[in-house]
């Protein structure tokens, strides 16, 4: 298993290009299952999760071709010959459940294993299933698989989500594009990845209104056509690299960054004393002289502070002046980075979904273990600011969500290297 060695090396300066969003791409790819014409995605990120989704789509009979070193994905589902998403692939990645809605909508049947994914809580899929049932799907759970049928096709319906779920909104949105009649999704997620999916589906001929608000209305159509669609910028990769100069000092421009993708996060950076400036090409972030102030953070569905930036924000708060309270409201058990940061000298108390962080003058390098995707990158950020060497093991988590992390950080002055097989 590979490790990453980071040595604190002072301020970071320069530019980092931000890739297309993993979470958008993982929901755009299953949209190919809705049409027998090709769907082309540009600005796709090069990540192991994308490879897993490619493997899953191919196992269903879809053709997936990677062009331009994987930044362009050409997919065609004209000859689906299998409607079973197998446990061996699905267990690697929770987003696999997103093939359920499209397959069921197009062909009236699908069998999908219940997913695994990051170890950050129970993460059920009941809301996905309830939404499909509201559109007339008949579902049965057998031996770890969801068996779904809609013999006469899905029918438009009212879906009332009791809590906001990104994945369930995406599954329902895709399924509703081919359902007969009108579907209304109430209390829908408003994340930029949902808007990106709706944009792509509209290019394919779907009729969708209200994405980006909590009520989405879909008028079903008989068929969808092919399209070409650019994947939206990854707001989590963006926020992660924005934190690098905040933690280490210096000035970094994140190319392709947009304020509207990270509004609540930027408000917290501002309160912490970090400047963010919009440029023609992205967002410029600087911690010129002053210290970082402690700020409190509560994770919420978009447009609130994203749960996927909580671990990285905690790394910043470890050396801030004062005490900050971080509340995790989306996933239980999402503080697995805290004990690792403590190994580096951080002062953190975790009680249930609340972490209290008291800033220390300096973190110290230590061997630490990555436990999930966002936790791994928070340890790298902490290592960049620590005195001495930090060895982050189990970095395979990182490959799921950050392309070329070593290359990108090295190019702005970080001392970071990847070691194989340790
Ligand atoms: C997506 C992202 C993930 C991100 C999360 C929150 C993808 C592939 N994954 O995950 O990286 O961390 O949004 O931004 O895009 N819930 C249920 N029942 C369900 C579904 C969800 O109870 O059927 C609960 C979850 O346990 C959680 C909350 O709803 O407490 C929100 O989860 P959800 O928005 O669905 O997250 P994901 O779509 O899994």
Q: What is the pLDDT of residue 68?
A: 94
- Look at strands 389-393 and 3-7 and give their pairing: antiparallel
Contact 401, 373 (CB under 8 A): yes
107 and 220 in a single domain? The answer is: yes
CB atoms within 10 A of CB 88: 10
- Look at strands 215-219 and 182-186 and give their pairing: antiparallel
User: Which residue lies with its CA nearest to atom 25 of ligand 1?
Assistant: 123
Asked whether residue 124 is marked as a ligand-binding residue, the answer is: yes
The domain tally of the chain equals 2
Q: What stretches of 39-112 show up as alpha helix (H) in DSSP?
A: 48-59, 87-90, 100-107
Asked whether residue 416 is marked as a ligand-binding residue, the answer is: no
Please name the residues in contact with 131: beta carbons below 8 A apart, sequence gap of 6 or more. Answer: 159, 161, 168, 171, 172, 175, 185
Query: 35: domain range?
Result: 22-230
Contact 182, 225 (CB under 8 A): no
224 and 281 in a single domain? The answer is: no
Q: What is the pLDDT of residue 288?
A: 66
Q: What is the pLDDT of residue 126?
A: 92
276 and 214 in a single domain? The answer is: no
167 and 81 in a single domain? The answer is: yes
User: Which residue lies with its CA nearest to atom 21 of ligand 1?
Assistant: 165
> Residue 299: beta bridge partners?
305
Q: What is the pLDDT of residue 164?
A: 95
Asked whether residue 289 is marked as a ligand-binding residue, the answer is: no
Q: What is the pLDDT of residue 289?
A: 67
Structural domain ending residue among the three candidates 230, 256, 285? 230
> Residue 215: beta bridge partners?
186
Helices 310-317, 373-385: crossing angle, 10 deg rounding: 20
b vs e for 92-103, b when ≥16 Cβ sit within 10 Å of the residue's Cβ? Answer: bbbbbbbbbbbb
Mutate to test the pocket of ligand 1, among 166, 174, 193 (most ligand atoms within 8 A of CB): 166
152 and 163 in a single domain? The answer is: yes
Beta-strand runs (E) in 109-154: 109-113, 138-142, 145-149
3-state secondary structure of 186: strand
Structure tokens at 270: 């501002």
396 and 366 in a single domain? The answer is: yes
Structural domain ending residue among the three candidates 209, 230, 251? 230
Structure tokens at 281: 């090409």
CB atoms within 10 A of CB 1: 10
49 and 75 in a single domain? The answer is: yes
246 and 208 in a single domain? The answer is: no
- Look at strands 72-76 and 39-42 and give their pairing: antiparallel
Contact 148, 76 (CB under 8 A): no
362 and 390 in a single domain? The answer is: yes
User: Which residue lies with its CA nearest to atom 31 of ligand 1?
Assistant: 165
**Tens-digit pLDDT string for the chain (422 aa):** 899 999 998 999 999 999 999 999 999 999 999 999 999 999 999 999 999 999 999 999 999 999 999 999 999 999 899 999 999 999 989 999 999 999 999 999 999 999 864 555 567 899 999 999 999 999 999 998 999 999 999 999 999 999 999 999 999 999 999 999 999 999 999 999 999 999 999 999 999 999 999 999 999 999 999 999 999 999 999 999 999 999 999 999 999 999 999 999 999 999 999 999 999 999 999 986 678 999 999 999 999 999 999 999 999 999 999 999 999 999 888 999 999 999 999 999 999 999 999 999 999 999 999 888 999 999 999 999 999 999 999 998 899 999 999 999 999 999 999 999 75
Please name the residues in contact with 379: beta carbons below 8 A apart, sequence gap of 6 or more. Answer: 315, 337, 340, 341, 344, 368, 370, 390, 392
Q: What CATH number corresponds to the domain at position 102? A: 3.65.10.10
Structural domain ending residue among the three candidates 182, 209, 230? 230
147 and 212 in a single domain? The answer is: yes
Enzyme catalytic residues: 118
Residues with CB under 6 A from ligand 1: 23, 26, 94-95, 121, 123-128, 163, 165-168, 306-308, 330-331
CA dihedral 9, 10, 13, 17 (to 10 degrees): 50
d(CA 257, CA 21): 11
91 and 166 in a single domain? The answer is: yes
Q: What is the pLDDT of residue 3?
A: 95
Q: What stretches of 1-157 show up as alpha helix (H) in DSSP?
A: 22-28, 48-59, 87-90, 100-107, 126-134
108 and 221 in a single domain? The answer is: yes
In the reported structure, the alpha carbon of residue 166 is separated from the centroid of ligand 1 by a whole-number distance in angstroms of: 6
> Side by side, which strands form the sheet with 3-7?
367-369, 389-393, 3-7, 415-419
- Look at strands 3-7 and 39-42 and give their pairing: unpaired
Contact 120, 131 (CB under 8 A): no
């Amino acid at each position: 298993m590979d490790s990453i060695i980071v040595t604190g090396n002072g301020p970071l300066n320069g530019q980092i290009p931000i890739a297309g969003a993993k979470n958008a791409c993982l929901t755009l790819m299953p949209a190919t299952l809705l049409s027998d014409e090709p769907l082309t995605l540009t600005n796709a990120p090069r990540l192991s999760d994308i490879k897993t989704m490619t493997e899953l789509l191919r196992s269903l009979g879809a053709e997936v071709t990677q062009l331009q070193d994987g930044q362009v994905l050409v997919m065609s589902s004209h000859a689906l010959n299998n409607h079973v998403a197998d446990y061996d692939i699905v267990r690697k990645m929770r987003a696999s459940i997103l093939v359920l809605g499209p397959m069921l909508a197009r062909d009236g049947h699908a069998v999908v294993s219940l997913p695994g994914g990051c170890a950050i809580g129970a993460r059920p899929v009941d809301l996905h299933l309830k939404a499909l049932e509201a559109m007339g799907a008949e579902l049965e759970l057998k031996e770890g698989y969801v068996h779904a049928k809609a013999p006469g096709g899905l029918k438009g319906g009212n879906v009332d989500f009791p809590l906001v779920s990104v994945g369930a909104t995406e599954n329902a949105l895709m399924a509703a594009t081919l359902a007969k009649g009108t579907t209304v999704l109430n209390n829908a997620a408003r994340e930029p990845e949902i808007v990106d999916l709706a944009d792509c589906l509209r290019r394919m001929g779907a009729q969708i209104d209200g994405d980006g608000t909590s009520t989405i209305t879909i008028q079903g159509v008989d068929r969808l056509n092919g399209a070409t669609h650019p994947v939206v910028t990854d707001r989590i990769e963006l926020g992660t690299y924005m934190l690098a100069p905040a933690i280490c000092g210096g000035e970094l421009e994140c190319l392709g960054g947009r304020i509207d993708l990270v509004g609540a996060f930027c408000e917290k950076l501002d309160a912490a004393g970090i400047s963010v400036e919009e440029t023609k090409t992205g967002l410029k972030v600087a911690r010129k002289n002053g210290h970082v102030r402690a700020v409190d953070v509560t994770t919420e569905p978009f447009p609130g502070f994203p749960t996927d930036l909580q671990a990285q924000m905690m790394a910043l708060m470890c050396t801030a002046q004062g005490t900050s309270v971080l509340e995790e409201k989306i996933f239980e058990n999402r503080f697995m980075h805290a004990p690792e940061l403590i190994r580096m000298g951080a002062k953190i108390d975790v009680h249930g979904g609340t972490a209290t962080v008291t800033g220390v003058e300096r973190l110290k390098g230590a061997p630490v273990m990555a436990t999930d995707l966002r936790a791994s990158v928070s340890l790298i950020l902490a290592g960049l600011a620590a005195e001495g060497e930090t060895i982050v093991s189990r970095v395979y988590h990182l490959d799921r969500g950050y392309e070329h992390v070593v290359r990108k950080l090295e190019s702005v002055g970080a001392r970071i290297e990847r070691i194989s097989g340790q």
